[in-house]
Amino acid sequence: MTRLFTDQISHIPETIDEYNQELKDKTGCGLVGLANHALGTEYETAFLAQKRAAVVPVTVGEGIIQGFSKSVAAILEYMGFEILVTNSSDVKGIKEAYQKKADILLMADDDEFIALNLEENKYVDNNWATARAYVNALELMVGGLKDRTVVVQGLGPIGREAVRALIEKEARIKVYDVDEQKMIKLTEEVESVEAVKNPEQELKHNKLILEATPVDNTIQEDYIDQKTYISAPGVPLGVCKTAISSIEDRLIHDPLQLGVSLMAAGVL
Ligand code: 2YJ
């Protein structure tokens, strides 16, 4: 996850219901349903309403992103959690969350975004959660991934986690990264993964794409047809602007919602 900008997330609280509906239209599941599908759980809103989730603003490094805590809290509230954003930040904020009897805590600095459940001695990392969420969303969109070929573009932390999640789904996996060393390392670690040299050709030929790069315009209009499905955790979105209208119904992309919902459900 690259550092988010306020402009990319400030709409989340007002549009979360609309977002959830679109997710349902594409995958058959809303945020809670998708988290349940990915985790093998059966959480319901009424159960989540008994859990208090605290978001702690963190000032270290590049500091607070305006709207970040509020957006994370809005996602959790929509899932059913009782929420609070602590008044204090950092260590004092963590103390406040515990004084206010939070069951789970979410907080992010420039490198890490985690959910904690100290009572259960559990934590969930945003990379793990985001990759699982997007692989499961793709699976639901296309009705199964077993023996289907998925091209994973971008082998940063989320792309690599996505490869692990796709292995669990028994998908065939092709990977591409501009950094050839990353592809070599991954194919040495995981035998069944194939590194591709020509992403353009592969993206045109293979219809299931997991886009996890931190850059735009990686997917051009002529790569896409009616059978293309894209699950894109990468921010900014890699699909070029002129292509979005032709893939919109078969594209999953958001800056925070899916990852946060799986973090929170996963840490319970
Ligand atoms: O509390 C705040 O407002 C800020 N400290 C939030 C920082 C959010 N962090 C990011 O956007 C990082 N790039 C997260 C990296 C997570 C790795 N998955």
Residue-level pLDDT at 197: 87
Beta carbon of 110 within 6 Å of any ligand 1 atom: yes
Write out the chain's pLDDT in tens, 268 residues. Answer: 578 999 999 999 999 999 999 999 999 999 999 999 999 999 999 999 999 999 999 999 999 999 999 999 999 999 999 999 999 999 999 999 999 999 999 999 999 999 999 899 999 999 999 999 999 999 999 999 999 999 999 999 999 999 999 999 999 999 999 999 999 999 999 888 999 988 888 888 888 999 999 999 989 888 899 999 999 999 999 999 999 999 999 999 999 999 999 999 999 9
> Is residue 238 domain-shared with residue 163, that is, in the same domain?
yes
Question: Which domain range does residue 96 map to?
Answer: 6-125+257-266
Beta carbon of 225 within 6 Å of any ligand 1 atom: no
Beta carbon of 112 within 6 Å of any ligand 1 atom: yes
> Is residue 145 domain-shared with residue 113, that is, in the same domain?
no
Q: ipTM for the complex?
A: 0.95
Residue-level pLDDT at 1: 57
Q: Which atom of ligand 1 is nearest to the CA of 126?
A: 18
> Is residue 108 domain-shared with residue 146, that is, in the same domain?
no
> Is residue 167 domain-shared with residue 185, that is, in the same domain?
yes
Q: Specify the CATH number for the domain of residue 105.
A: 3.40.50.12150
> Is residue 102 domain-shared with residue 137, that is, in the same domain?
no
Residue 92 resides in a domain: yes
> Is residue 137 domain-shared with residue 90, that is, in the same domain?
no
**Cα 147 to ligand 1 centre (Å):** 35
Residue 209 resides in a domain: yes
Beta carbon of 3 within 6 Å of any ligand 1 atom: yes
> Is residue 134 domain-shared with residue 113, that is, in the same domain?
no
> Is residue 134 domain-shared with residue 248, that is, in the same domain?
yes
Residue 192 in contact with residue 171, Cβ under 8 Å?
no
Residue 111 resides in a domain: yes
Nearest to 218 by CA among 193, 150, 148, 230: 230
Q: Specify the CATH number for the domain of residue 217.
A: 3.40.50.720
Residue 65 resides in a domain: yes
Residue 201 resides in a domain: yes
Beta carbon of 6 within 6 Å of any ligand 1 atom: no
Residue 78 resides in a domain: yes
Burial of 42 (0-12, 13-18, 19+ CB in 10 A): exposed
Residue 87 resides in a domain: yes
> Is residue 90 domain-shared with residue 148, that is, in the same domain?
no
The structural domain count of the chain equals 2
From 55, 68, 263, give the residue whose CB has the most ligand 1 atoms within 8 Å, as the site to mutate.
Answer: 68
Nearest Cα residue to atom 13 of ligand 1: 3
> Is residue 150 domain-shared with residue 238, that is, in the same domain?
yes
Nearest Cα residue to atom 2 of ligand 1: 64
> Is residue 139 domain-shared with residue 248, that is, in the same domain?
yes
> Is residue 120 domain-shared with residue 143, that is, in the same domain?
no
Q: Which atom of ligand 1 is nearest to the CA of 4?
A: 11
Residue 1 resides in a domain: no
Q: How far apart are CA 33 and CA 39, in angstroms?
A: 10
**Cα 66 to ligand 1 centre (Å):** 11
Region of residue 139 (phi > 0: left; psi between -120 and 50: alpha; otherwise: beta): alpha
Q: Which atom of ligand 1 is nearest to the CA of 65?
A: 3
Residue-level pLDDT at 3: 85
